[in-house]
Structure 1
Amino acid sequence: MLITNVRAHHIRIPYDAGVASFRQGASSISALEIVMVEVSTDAGLTGWGDAFAYVCPRTSTTAIEEMIAPQAQGQQVPDAAGIPAFMEQIQRNLHLFGRYGITMFAISALDIAMWDLAAKAKGVPLHRLIGEARRTRIPAYASLLRIGKPELIARECETALRQGYKAIKLHETTTPAVFAARQAIGPGIPLMVDLNCPLNGEDAIAFAHSCRDAAPMFLEEPVWPPEDFATLADVRTKGGLHVAAGENACTVHQFRQMMQAGAVSHAQPSVIKVGGITEYLKVTALADELGVRLAPHSPYFGPGFLATLQLMSLRDDASFVEVFSMKRAACLWRGRINVDANGDVEVPQGPGIGYEPDTAVMEQYRVS
């Protein structure tokens, strides 16, 4: 099976996040930017992947078109056993552009599409290529955008629980915000706090102490810069709380540095940033070896989300799937990816990543 074409699709789907907001500098972001890669073959099968594209969709698109497509077009599609070597060669060919950031986002997109194709060639869901499914439904946590005001945070938390979510994650940086959420949801609901890398070590330790009585399941990325694993380990040791990080890490090598430094109790590989499914699987194997729990990063709704569901179905460690708490104008897929009344997301059982994109939705919200 030969790769005949690699095409990037930039899709922009508006959303309503209520009182919350996602900001880039002074600008408020009100649409999901999705950059999908479509890999066509001479056998008529198509594979889908996506690259991280928040506020950088044109850059991710260009990386796919100018860096990834020339590497892949004309190549044989490998089977599952051959994908790691295939993708390593592409990483080697592109290493002079850096092995982090946009380059790895684009590589991630192709890798996901390769696994999608390999599973479709066998007529099985992606997880069947890797192992035996332990779960067919994954409990979801509501990943709230930043709100700021404690009274509004409490209201949004209560809304999420009514929608069926079994856990909540805040993107807040103040102690009153954390306690407002805990008071609203009660003591039995897991609560996570994502700070998005704002603090030095001393302030991060102080923040951990200040919200310890709210019993967060973990603090996520409390430290700037995120690759300062020594300081992150210090926060974990002295702060008295579990620490999660990894959404900004690319390749298993950076995760190895993080884990060996003792920086995290929870590793957070993002399949559309880390290097795709291939690197994600290396990270999970390393985490199991070193006794680190997994808490994958997945606040997106493209092929990477479906791939994450497939991968999480292989584990029975009670981990949650991250779901952005927002109302999307449309669903990109010919299938259900919403959270049900029990707070779960069903793992799709179709070939590959499980569903095919809705081409009418793609055309309606296409940018390029």
Structure 2
Amino acid sequence: MKITDVRAHHIRIPYDAGPASFRQGASAISALDMVVVEVSTDGGLTGWGDAFAYVCPKTSCMAVTEMIAPQARGLEVPDATAIPAAMEQVQRNLHLFGRYGITMFAISALDIALWDLAGKVKGVPLHRLIGGAKRTTIPAYASLMRIGVPEQIAGECSKAIQSGYSAIKLHETTVPAVAAARKAIGTGVPLMVDMNCPLDGPAAIRFAHDCRASAPMFLEEPVWPPEDFATLAEVRKQGGLDIAAGENACTVHQFRQMIEAGAVSHAQPSVIKVGGITEFLAVAELADQRGVQVIPHSPYFGPGFLATLHLMAIRDAGLIEMFFMNRPACLWGGRIDVDESGHVAVPQGPGLGYEPDRDVMQQYRVA
């Protein structure tokens, strides 16, 4: 199997998240921006990848076009066993442009597409290539965008539970917000709190103490900067709550630093950031060896979400993250919707399992 071309498609699908808003710096996420990467081969098969692109789709597209496509064209990948070595060489070739961030987002897209192709060559779903499925559906948790108003937070939490979700994640940074959510969903529902790195160590410890009455399953990334693993470990030790992190980490090497520092109880690799399926598998193996739980960062609607379903299907337990929102279209139709029991079905077709709807791609493509 030889790669003949790599193309990046910027897809933008609007959404309605009710009272929620999400901000990254000065930019508001007003639509679901995806960089879907199409990898063509000399055998006529097409693989699909996904590069992280919430507020930087043009940059991610350019990284794929300028860095990844020249590396990939002409690349021979005979089967799945050749992917890790091929991707390590790509990482080595591009390391001058950064081991983390945009470069790794683009590398992640290529890796996912290669695994998709490997499954298609064999005629088997991805989960068969990476260990075999232990589950046919994955429980999903509702990931609420930031709202800020306790009464509105309570209302959205109640809606999510009524929709079938059995767990909730907030993106909030105040104790009243967390308390309102817990009151709305009751004591038996897991509640996670993603803070997006706002606090120093002492403030994060105080916040953890103040939230203990609401019994969150974990605090996610309470500390700035996110790579300050020593401080994160101190918050975990002194705060009395479990700590999750990893969506801002790339490659198994950074996760090893995080885990060896004792910073986390839950590792959160993001398949479209960490380096793709190859790196995600390495992170999961490391976490299992060290007794750290794996709960992936996955609020996506592109090929990365399909990849995450397969990656969680080979595990005995673990949840998958879904943004709680309505959207007018989906690349996969209704096949990744959450069912009445709060689960998402694992695709069973070759590779990632589904082909994107090209009509949807065309309708929501950004030139």
CA gap 1:310/1:33 in 2 versus in 1, 3 angstroms: same
Query: Residue 163 of structure 2 corresponds to which residue in structure 1?
Result: 163
- Is 1:146 the counterpart of 2:110? The answer is no
> Aligned equivalents of 1:159 and 1:334: distance in 2?
23
Query: Residue 257 of structure 2 corresponds to which residue in structure 1?
Result: 257
> Aligned equivalents of 1:344 and 1:89: distance in 2?
37
Query: Residue 361 of structure 1 corresponds to which residue in structure 2?
Result: 360
Deviations 1:310-357 (A, max 9, x none): 01000112x110000111120111551010110000001011111100
> Aligned equivalents of 2:298 and 2:61: distance in 1?
20
Deviations 1:115-170 (A, max 9, x none): 00000000010010011211000000000000000000000000000100010000
Task: Kindly report which structure 2 residues correspond to 1:13-32, keeping only aligned pairs within 5 A, or say none.
Answer: 13-32=13-32
Query: Which piece of structure 1 moves more, 78-87 or 146-155?
Result: 78-87
Query: Residue 306 of structure 1 corresponds to which residue in structure 2?
Result: 306
Task: Kindly report which structure 2 residues correspond to 1:1-368, keeping only aligned pairs within 5 A, or say none.
Answer: 1-317=1-317, 319-334=318-333, 336-368=335-367
Deviations 1:4-59 (A, max 9, x none): 11000000000000000112344432200000110001111000001000110000
Tell me how far 1:79 sits from its aligned partner.
1.1
> Aligned equivalents of 2:119 and 2:187: distance in 1?
42
> Aligned equivalents of 1:62 and 1:26: distance in 2?
22
The amino acid of 1:37's aligned partner reads V
The amino acid of 1:320's aligned partner reads L
The amino acid of 2:296's aligned partner reads P
**Is the 1:39–1:46 Cα contact (8 Å) retained in structure 2?**
yes
SS at match of 2:110: helix
Identity %: 76
SS at match of 1:349: coil
Tell me how far 1:217 sits from its aligned partner.
0.3
**Is the 2:27–2:55 Cα contact (8 Å) retained in structure 1?**
no
The amino acid of 2:203's aligned partner reads D
> Aligned equivalents of 1:218 and 1:24: distance in 2?
22
> Aligned equivalents of 1:115 and 1:29: distance in 2?
29
With normalisation by structure 2, the TM-score equals: 0.99
The amino acid of 2:209's aligned partner reads H
SS at match of 2:273: coil
With normalisation by structure 1, the TM-score equals: 0.99
Compute the RMSD of aligned alpha carbons. 0.8
Tell me how far 1:280 sits from its aligned partner.
0.3
> Aligned equivalents of 1:320 and 1:29: distance in 2?
24
Unaligned runs of 5+ in 2: none
**Is the 2:29–2:54 Cα contact (8 Å) retained in structure 1?**
no
> Aligned equivalents of 2:294 and 2:7: distance in 1?
32
> Aligned equivalents of 2:178 and 2:50: distance in 1?
33
**Is the 2:296–2:321 Cα contact (8 Å) retained in structure 1?**
yes
Deviations 1:61-105 (A, max 9, x none): 000000000000011124111100000000000011011000000
Aligned length: 367
SS at match of 2:224: coil
> Aligned equivalents of 1:21 and 1:130: distance in 2?
37
SS at match of 1:16: coil
